[in-house]
């Protein structure tokens, strides 16, 4: 079983207005996932508010309306030909059923919470539509705390404590997290600055996720978790997803080597049971080095891990087993 714990197939299909089952011309789509033997992908929808992050190629005027439109698109697609090849997974049993039936499972999430508008009722509505994952921040601070990246007038830069406010977890953020805990939504702490990370972690229940990125011990960046943060996620029973994509700006070379180096660092800290793969694939054609340029080459991850001395059981855990365990504990 292979599960990508952070990939943007749904974003790409919607933005390009193409059938879900078609080749989308990016680094992730259904044909590529089938080529790569991918069982499931956690698809965190990306609908940043242009008024909050500044206009750029992916920002939108109305995040909630955009997200609901994406879910309507998905419903339409699954009622047609795509439904023979794709299924939405609300539980771990749905992932297993999709694999047994030869379908690719999509687990619906969101990256950044602009669409929630700080309202638990909106969260409940989205949960009813299949949402099972929330990455609390992305492009700016919000009720959960400050973000490790900041978009200014269409340009991204890392969080700078000398320039940016030290946004703290608010009562509204606590209420939303309590509702996520109650509903069984997997909480993703990627992109939180470290002080906010610790505040949020203190009120979470059950396993948590850092779905994609690198590690600070390899690249000293505010955008990567420290050793202490990684150990804390593991102590919840959670998972950290290694990515071939740098969370820049950085001098890292995108590709398989970066992902494998991150896996090695994570395993050295917390063991193999708390490590997964989150590609962050979207468009990015020509960005990655040869050997892991798109999700169709996911078997190269297994090959690379074998060459670094990992056994078959450990590889299976990293490629999907660990995430499925976490998802089952949170969503059922």
pLDDT at 268: 98
pLDDT at 276: 98
In the chain, what is the straight-line distance between the N-terminal and C-terminal CA atoms, in Å?
18
pLDDT of 154 reads 74
pLDDT of residue 330: 98
CATH number assigned to the domain covering 3-331: 3.20.20.140
Per-residue confidence (pLDDT) for residue 56, from 0 to 100: 85
pLDDT at residue 76 in the model: 97
Residue 85 burial (CB count, 10 A): 18
Residue carrying the six token digits 């490629």: 319
What is the model's pLDDT at position 287? 87
Note down pLDDT in tens along the chain; length 332 residues: 999 999 999 999 999 999 999 999 999 999 999 999 999 999 999 999 999 888 888 899 999 999 999 999 999 999 999 999 999 999 999 999 999 999 999 999 999 999 999 999 999 999 999 999 999 999 899 999 999 998 877 788 899 988 888 889 999 999 999 999 999 999 999 999 999 999 999 999 999 999 999 999 999 999 999 999 999 999 999 999 999 999 977 789 999 999 999 999 999 999 999 999 999 999 988 888 888 999 999 999 999 999 999 999 999 999 999 999 999 999 99
């Amino acid at each position: 079983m292979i599960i990508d714990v952070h990939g943007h197939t749904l974003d790409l299909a919607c933005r390009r207005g193409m059938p879900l089952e078609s080749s989308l011309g990016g680094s992730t789509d259904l044909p590529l996932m089938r080529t790569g033997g991918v069982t499931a992908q956690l698809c965190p929808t990306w609908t940043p508010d242009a008024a909050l992050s500044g206009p750029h190629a992916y920002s939108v005027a109305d995040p909630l309306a955009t997200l609901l439109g994406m879910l309507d698109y998905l419903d339409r697609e699954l009622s047609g030909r795509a439904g023979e090849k794709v299924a939405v997974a609300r539980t771990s049993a749905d992932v297993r059923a999709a694999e047994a039936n030869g379908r690719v499972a999509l687990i619906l999430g969101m990256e950044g919470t602009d669409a929630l508008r700080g309202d638990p009722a909106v969260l409940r509505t989205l949960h009813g539509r299949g949402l099972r994952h929330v990455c609390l921040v992305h492009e700016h601070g919000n009720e959960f705390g400050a973000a490790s990246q900041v978009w200014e007038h269409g340009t991204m830069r890392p969080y700078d404590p000398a320039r940016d406010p030290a946004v703290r977890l608010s009562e509204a953020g606590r209420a939303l997290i309590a509702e996520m805990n109650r509903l069984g939504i997997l909480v993703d702490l990627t992109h939180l600055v470290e002080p906010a990370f610790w505040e949020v972690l203190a009120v979470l229940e059950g396993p948590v996720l850092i779905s994609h990125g690198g590690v600070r011990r390899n690249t000293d960046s505010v955008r990567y978790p420290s050793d202490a943060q990684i150990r804390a996620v593991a102590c919840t029973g959670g998972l950290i997803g290694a990515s071939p994509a740098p969370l820049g700006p950085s001098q890292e070379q995108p590709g398989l080597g970066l992902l494998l180096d991150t896996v090695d660092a994570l395993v050295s800290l917390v063991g193999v049971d708390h490590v997964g793969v989150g590609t962050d694939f979207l468009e990015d054609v020509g960005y990655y080095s040869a050997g892991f340029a798109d999700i169709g080459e996911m078997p190269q991850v297994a090959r690379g891990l074998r060459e670094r001395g990992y056994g078959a059981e450990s590889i299976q855990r990293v490629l999907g087993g660990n995430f499925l365990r976490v998802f089952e504990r949170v969503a059922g």
